[in-house]
Amino acid sequence: MCGIVGIAGPHELKWVHDMNGAIVHRGPDDQGFYSSPDGAVSLAAQRLSILDLEGGHQPMSSRDGSIWIVFNGEIYNAPQLRAQFESQGRQFVTAHSDTEVLLHLYETKGEAMLDDLNGMFAFVNFGTRLI
């Protein structure tokens, strides 16, 4: 299972890199880092590729780069949510990523997105714009 870390508030980027290094055993397939332009928020992830083997790099951003997320777990109803969004004309970059579904859901519903989720998961998202 993947691993996610992050810090909000004053910090050194090295701390996030060190935390992510401490959980490398949680996801040997990929790793990634994000730090907000003002340096107030940093996110990192270690990824174990299960659903979307070639896509799904994290941290992942919305198409316009205004929302960032790290995610661990599985959204059982992600295929249905994805199909619903696609029928509304929303486009996806990845083939099967639960994480990208979460971004679209957050863009449309904000915190109320949690009412639509079925699964076991943890995620942290950060937005530079209000929903």
pLDDT tens digits, 55-77: 778 999 998 899 999 999 999 99
Q: What is the DSSP letter of 17?
A: H
Helix and strand numbers (H, E) in the chain are 3, 6
pLDDT tens digits, 81-115: 999 999 999 999 998 889 999 999 999 999 999 99
Neighbours of 5 (CB within 10 A): 22
State how beta strands 60-61 and 119-127 pair: unpaired
Write down the catalytic residue from 2, 67, 102, 103.
Answer: 2
Query: Which residues, in sequence order, are bridge partners of residue 43?
Result: 6, 34
Sheet with 60-61, side-by-side order of all strands: 60-61, 67-75, 119-127
- Active-site annotation holds for 32: no
What pLDDT does 53 receive?
A: 60
pTM, entire model: 0.86
CATH number assigned to the domain covering 3-127: 3.60.20.10
